[in-house]
């Protein structure tokens, strides 16, 4: 019997074969990711002669959140993948909801990050340099501040649009994974889709700026894909509440109407803590 084919990071694609591997494969727990706030297990999954590394987050290991009382983190992670796939940008690794060794949970393809890619930085300046966008001033030492910046990167800009649609309340720096082949992925979407505006992110560099023509075209197509009776709406209805689905549609409509990236409301902290 030949050894299973291990999928290299560069071939990670959100296609039916990957989804089938994650959904139907034999899941084996290899260890625990200890810096995660909820149970997150590093696993391998094998099916049909293929094998890949993945993350399994069982619902049984979730801590209840008073401000996200409906549904589960796992369901929202899968819903975020469904919406991300509808954009065609491929910004979220393939993700499924399935049974595992510790019950139902989210299973997501593991992404090997390219750590040499710099997306965030603290600079001792009042303005960002070329190729960077300002986020906010941050206190680094007692009485000393530095400017937090992120790269003026089209992949990040697409992710900022996706986060606005998802109403992502926790876009930290550690949730950005630059990968082989100049790909960029966002992970950890458990606190998304709230019916109230809760956008908290490090990607405020384009706040108030006009959306790109590409983003507007994607949002227009996404709005159509989210309509009642659509396949996407049907899948989301099994993962989030009717109010959350309606709010997602409303956010897409609002982005199209304004034609601009959203700005912080000032009603809550706009940057997650810790930011990285």
The three state secondary structure string of 150-180 is EECCHHHHHHHHHHHHHCCCCECHHHEEEEH
User: What is the value of pTM for the model shown?
Assistant: 0.91
Question: What pLDDT is attached to residue 6?
Answer: 39
pLDDT (0 to 100) of residue 153: 95
d(CA 192, CA 201): 12
Any idea of the CA torsion for 253, 258, 259, 264, to the nearest 10 degrees?
-100
Please indicate, yes or no, if residue 78 is contained in any of the structural domains.
yes
Counting Cβ atoms within 10 Å, is residue 10 exposed (0-12), middle (13-18) or buried (19+)?
exposed
Exposure string over 36-45, b if 16+ CB within 10 A, otherwise e: eebbbbebbb
Report if residue 17 sits inside a domain: yes
The pLDDT of residue 275 is 67
- Is residue 248 situated within a structural domain? no
Question: Cα angle at 149 between 147 and 150, to 5 degrees?
Answer: 170
CA distance 82 to 41: 22
Q: What's the pLDDT tens digit per position in 85-112?
A: 999 999 999 999 999 999 999 999 999 8
User: Average model confidence (pLDDT) for the chain?
Assistant: 89
pLDDT digits (tens, 9 = 90+) for 188-218: 999 999 999 999 999 999 999 999 999 999 9
Number of domains present in the structure of the chain: 1
Q: Look at residue 100 and tell me if it is in a domain.
A: yes
Q: Do the domain assignments include residue 92?
A: yes
Residue 195 inside a domain? The answer is: no
Instruction: Judge whether 257 lies within some domain.
Output: no
**For 46-55, what is the mean pLDDT?**
94
With respect to residue 64, please indicate whether it lies within any of the assigned structural domains. Answer: yes
Determine the structural domain holding residue 44 and report its residue range: 5-109
pLDDT in tens, 151-188: 999 999 999 999 999 999 999 988 999 988 889 999 99
Residue with tokens 């000393």: 144
């Amino acid at each position: 019997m030949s050894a299973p084919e291990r999928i290299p990071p560069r071939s990670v694609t959100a296609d039916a074969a990957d989804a089938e591997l994650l959904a139907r494969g034999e899941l084996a727990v290899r260890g625990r990711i200890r810096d995660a706030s909820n149970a997150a297990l590093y696993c391998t999954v094998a099916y049909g002669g293929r094998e890949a590394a993945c993350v399994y987050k069982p619902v049984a290991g979730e801590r209840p959140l008073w401000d996200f009382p409906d549904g589960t983190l796992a369901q929202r992670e899968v819903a975020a993948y469904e919406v991300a796939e509808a954009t065609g940008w491929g910004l979220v690794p393939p993700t499924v909801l399935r049974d595992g060794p510790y019950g139902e949970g989210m299973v997501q393809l593991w992404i090997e990050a390219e750590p040499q890619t710099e997306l965030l930085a603290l600079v001792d300046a009042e303005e960002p340099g070329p190729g960077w966008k300002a986020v906010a001033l941050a206190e680094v030492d007692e009485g000393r501040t530095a400017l937090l910046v992120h790269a003026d990167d089209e992949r990040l800009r697409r992710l900022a649009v996706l986060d606005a649609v998802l109403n992502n309340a926790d876009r930290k720096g550690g949730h950005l994974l630059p990968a082989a082949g100049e790909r960029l992925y966002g992970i950890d979407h458990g606190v998304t889709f709230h019916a109230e505006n809760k956008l908290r992110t490090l990607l405020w560099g384009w706040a108030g700026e006009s959306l790109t023509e590409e983003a507007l075209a994607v949002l227009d197509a996404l709005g159509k894909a989210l309509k009642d009776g659509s396949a996407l709406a049907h899948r989301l209805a099994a993962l989030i509440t009717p109010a959350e689905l309606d709010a997602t549609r409303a956010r897409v409509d609002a982005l199209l109407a304004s034609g601009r990236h959203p700005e912080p409301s000032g009603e809550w902290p706009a940057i997650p803590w810790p930011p990285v």
